[in-house]
Structure formats: structure tokens, C-alpha cells
Structure 1
Amino acid sequence: MTTTLVTGANGQNGSPLVDLLAAQGQTVRRATSRTPTQAGEVHLNLATGEGLAAALADVDQLFLLAPSGYSNHHELLIPTIDAAKAAGVRKVLLMSAMGANADDSIPLRRAELHLERSGLAWNVIRPNWFMQNFHTFWLQGIQTQGQILLPVGAAKGSFIDTRDVAAVAAKLLSSDDFVNQSHDLTGSEAFDHTQVAAILSKAAGRTIGYTDVPEDAMRQGLLGAGLPADYAEFLLAILGAFKTGYAERTTDAVQRITGKAPIRLEQYAQDFKAHWA
């Protein structure tokens, strides 16, 4: 029986992935940075390396993503890849981000390249911006002001549902059909944030708008929420890339790998409307 270690197992991507892998009959080891409270959980802090050797013991596959709140992704991911190889892990699936391969000096790209050269079986997935951000990271503005508040102008993004990211990851971790390949993952259609707001409004039964806020206002909001300065600047940089149109592109990867069309933004809005209503 295959044993797969899932980092970020309680997150938007990891949680549905755990369920899909378990349904396939895999033994899933769920990594948590907190003290484990349930069977199948193991303590792992990628920022410090604490618990890494124990978490990787007798593992066949690793689903790896960088924890939120850090911009030095390569410094966390590369030692983990090396430890996985030393532990005898066969395959590593790294979740990166769409656009990370634009420049080999980008921290996530440095981790991608290290994995590709590691000698391990590998996959890299690069999702576009998540639909789920609208009921998590961007939720406060919607709840308190009825507005999506972002410095991205009228640019469009082909947002992807994290359930589709999990479905792709589950397929790649249950087959070698796509081994040693990278895939950019998107939804099937691109929307600007005014269009997103209209779709959320219809599902929630209330008016939600979009305000293109100045970058510095976004910076102050991020810092006021307690984010480290370097991570706030990282978020502003990738939001800037969105504003220039980098997130508008669509791919067929979800359909090609899973055999199913990506979840539509309208369906996502219906499924999570209670958060905005």
C-alpha cells in the first residue's frame, strides 16, 4: 500500500486531497505544524525542519507546498526535497504557482529546478489564483464593506477551484502517466473582479462590489493584519503581476489530467455562498 505524506493537509488544497487519496486506498500521513491531535497526523514545521525526518520515515510519496506567510520558499522547500530523497521517497509532487517559472531566480522556481534535478520522480503543479481566496483572504472586505478590495485594476484571472487542484494532485499521485512533467492549472474562463463580484452577489443574494484600491492602501492593510513586511511585499508583487494581465491565460490541464472540466466560478459561488450571505 502506498503511503503519501501531505503537507498543508488541513488547508484548502490539502484537505480535499487527503480525502481523495484515502478513497483510493492510499495510506495518508497528514502533516501539521501544530501538535497532532488525530490518528494519521504528524508534526512537521517546514520553516525549522522540526519533525521532518520522522514525518518522512517509510513514506513513498510527498505532496509538498510552502507554508503561508513566507517568501523565501526555496529555503524551506529545497532541504525538504533533499530529506525526502535521503529517506527513500520515490516521488515528490511540488505545488508551485502559475508564473513562478518566468524567472529562474524566483524562489519557487529555484525549488522547482532543484526537484527536477534531484533524481526523484517528480511533478510540479502551478495553480492560478484560487477561487477560495474570496471566502478566506479577501473575505473581510466583503463582510465589512461589501467590497472586494484589491489593487489589480480591470485585469482578468482564470481563477481555479482548489478542489480541482486536489483532483489533479490525486491523479498525479496515483499514476505515473504524467511523471516528470509540470502543469499550469487554471479555470476554463477568465474574469475581472467586477465580474467576480457580480457572480458572488447573485449567489449570496446581496450586493457585492469591487474597488481597485491603491497599492499602498493594500500594503498598510496587510501590515495591519500582522503579515511580515517581506511577505506583504511578496503579495503586492504577485498582485502587480495579476494587474499586468499575467493571470488571464487559460490551460486545458485540469481536463486533460482528470478527464473533467474545471469547476466554474458560478458553481464555486453557489457552494460557498453562506460565507458572503
Structure 2
Amino acid sequence: MTRPRKSPILLLDGTGVVPSRIARRLFFSSSSDEHPLLIASTPGLDPNGVKFDLYDPTTWENPFIRAQELFGRGSEMESDDMKVKVGSSLKDTMEESTTSMDGEGETTPGSTMDVDMQPSSTKASAHQKTDDSPVMIHSVYLTAPNNPPSNAHQHSHSSRTSTLASYEQQQRAPSPSPSQQASLLMQFIDYARQKHGTRRFVLQSASAMEPGGFALGRVHAHLRELGQRGEVEWAVLRPTWCQQDFEQPCHVKSIKEENKLYSATSNGKIPWVSADDIAAVAVQALTREDAPNTEYLVLGPELLGYNDIANTLSSVLGRKIVHVDISNPALERRHQSFGCSEEHSRLMSSLDTAIKYGMENRTNDVVLSMTGNKPKSFREYAESVKEIWV
């Protein structure tokens, strides 16, 4: 009897802070048989053997070829065996990625693969058969990844996908600008839907980025317009500032070496949200049967300013941590010292100004209503990773 075709879910930058958590949830979820996981990640961390670089369009075909190799007609028996093998290596890779995020910023290329899976462009399955009806990718999780291996430090409010690179790596070159990232993501959306028939796209944006505005706001508007024309199913996640931002080298360095946090937010409040809660909402948007066709403002459970964060860290770490409120030009220089481009540094400075004047002073029940679980508090997060600031 012919078995039903599988319709994979594709994660861009699947080893990043939020996507790696999505990957763990998807792989062990009840929907994994119908919608297996396919990861397109940075070189060196590619559990599915997919070499993909958003900034190199010649690699965009690879995930779709790999989906056909793993899940096409004639590959069903092999794909089950690979699921076991890749599952083990995926779990190891994700754990390794998480371990590196809990450390001092070093990311070790994945070396735990127990099956030889080369890029789709260079090695096809031994059991691959020609199929005139290619496998359709069910949905794509879109992010704005950094251009590896440099500058993965940048604040995850705008990309939320970074794996933490070493300080030396971060110094090599300026990060891609938000404008470049947005343009390439829109081009990839059109490529995937027009050439490969992909229908659902879930974008990881940010609370400060209104549809049609700067950076990922442009991608948001593009998806909404396509959705209104009935050409795609879509969702946009707009998480507020992420608790895991404090694992970024700029914060880890100042907390460990100076007992200080720097911002230009003054007394502004933020509903800090956990990357785990963002991932839980994302899984629902990627897998639910009905098309979301909406945006989700993903917020944490409490409003905390940087002074509150410093006080919580002081309590958790057993030493005094203070918040230093600096000027916007000083903040821009600080971001640039860690390798950010001028455009990105100006963006981050403007977001701190928006926080200062109350833009993030809000909460909601999106995490609870979408997942059935209450969002995690900042103290819970800080207690779980406190060793990185010691």
C-alpha cells in the first residue's frame, strides 16, 4: 500500500536561539510524522545536510531538493530510518547549540552527526527515484539570520536567531543591514511560493516593527498583502525583547567584568519574554490546520525596566549589579564596538528611545491562549542560566 507523502516544515537558521527551540518541539511533537522537520542552517550546523545561506541565492534550491530526497516517492522507507538517525544527531546538535549559548559565546560546529549527510547538490539518496510530483514544503519559518561566522552577537529583538559567536569572530565584518535582510527574505518568499508551491510562511519579526515600517516590517507587509490576495497562508510573530538577550556577549561581558548593564532606556519598562515561549507560539502557527493569517504580539508576564533586571540579577547572583543609563550616541558606539553596522546601531539606539517613552509598556495573554501555558518570568530564566554571568 502506498504511504501518504510527508510535507516537511522548513526552519531557516534552525540552530539559532528561537529556531533551535522550535526544532526540539517540532521533532518530538505528534505532528512530526505528517510534517517532519527540515533544517536549513549555517555551515557547520546542518543536521539535515542542507547548506543554506540567505545571502547566497544559489543555495536557496537546496532545502527543496533535500525535501524530495528525504520524503519523495520511493524514499519513504529510507526517510523513516533517517528520522531515527537524524533525530539522534539533531538532538545532540541542538543540545550542543544550547550549551554554547549558556557559555561565553563560543559556538562549536556540529560534530555529532552519526550519518553521512552531504549537501543535496552533491549527494543524492542511494534509493532516490525520479518523481514528477515533488514533495511540497508545508510551511517555512522565516528569520533574518546573521551572515556567519561573524556578528552573531547582535540584539535578538530584531533578528532573534543568533547563535553566539566568539568575540574574535564578531570583529571581522559588519553585520548585514536590516534593509538587506528584509529584501532577501521577501525575494526568498516569492521564490519558494512561485517555484516550489510553498503556501505557509511564519515570520519572526519584533514588537517594535509595525507592518510596512522599517526592516522586517516590510516583510510583514509583503506577507499580509499576499495573504489578502489568497496567494499564501501567513503569520507574523512580533515578540518583545527576549530574556535570552542577556546571554549576548555584550551583556555577559559587562555583567561578569563590570557588574553593570548598559542601555539608553532610562526607566522604560519591557514585558521580557522567554525564547521558549516564542517557540511554543511559533509551533502552533506552523502546524495548526487552519491558516493563521494574522500577527501575534508575543509578550512576557511582567513589566520590568533595566533597573528591575539589575535588581533581579543582583538577587540571583549574590552581588550588586547596576544599570547604567547612557546616551544614544554612546549606545551606538557600544554596538559598533561589538561589530554592528552603523545602520543596525542606529536602529538599536532608536528602539531604546522607544522603550524610554513607553512603547513596550504593555502585556497580553497571547502565550497562554496559544499554548495553554503561562509565560516564564525573568527570574525563572535568570535562575536557570546564572552560571554564564559568574
TM tier, smaller: over 0.9
Matched residue type, 1:108: L
Identical aligned residues as a percent: 24
Question: Contact 2:234 / 2:291 at 8 angstroms: preserved in 1?
Answer: no
- Separation in 2, partners of 1:45, 1:181: 27
The match for 1:97 is 206
Q: Is 1:81–2:184 an aligned residue pair?
A: no
Residue 183 of structure 1 aligns to which amino acid in structure 2?
Answer: Y
Residue 142 of structure 1 contacts residue 276 of structure 1 at CA under 8 Å; is this kept in 2? yes
The aligned counterpart of 1:40 is 48
The answer to whether 1:65 aligns with 2:116 is: no
Alignment of 1:139-154 (within 5 A): 139-154=252-267
- CA distance in 2 between partners of 1:131 and 1:39 (Å): 26
CA RMSD of the aligned region, Å?
A: 1.7
Report the secondary structure of 2:277's partner residue.
Answer: helix
Q: State the number of aligned residues.
A: 275
Structure 1: tracts of 5 or more residues without a match: none
Which ranges in structure 2 are unaligned for 5 or more consecutive residues?
1-5, 66-134, 147-174
TM-score by length of 2: 0.67
Counterpart of 1:122 in 2: which secondary structure? Answer: strand
1:20-39 mapped onto 2 (5 Å cutoff): 20-24=25-29, 25=32, 26-34=35-43, 36=44, 38-39=46-47
Farther-moved stretch of structure 1 (154-163 vs 213-222): 213-222
- Which structure: larger Rg? 2
Question: What is the letter of the counterpart of residue 243 of structure 1?
Answer: K
In the TM superposition, structure 1's runs of 4+ consecutive aligned residues that sit over 3 Å from their partners are 36-39
Q: Which residue of structure 2 aligns with residue 170 of structure 1?
A: 283
AA aligned opposite 1:99:
A
For residues 79-120 of structure 1, give each alpha carbon's deviation from its aligned partner in whole angstroms, at most 9, with x where no partner exists: 01101212111211011110211x624232221111122211
AA paired with 1:2? S
Instruction: State the distance in 2 between where 1:44 and 1:232 align.
Output: 27
Q: 1:200, CA displacement in angstroms?
A: 1.5
SS of corresponding position for 1:156: coil
Superposed counterparts of 1:45-56, under 5 Å: 45-56=53-64
Superposition pairs for residues 106-255 of structure 1, below 5 Å?
106-118=214-226, 119-136=231-248, 137-177=250-290, 179-255=292-368
Task: State how far apart, in whole Å, the 1-side matches of 2:284 and 2:389 are.
Answer: 32
Look up the SS of the partner of 1:18 in the other structure: helix
Contact 1:90 1:121 survives alignment (8 Å): yes
Given that residues 241 and 272 in structure 2 are in contact (C-alpha distance below 8 angstroms), is that contact kept between their aligned partners in structure 1?
Answer: yes
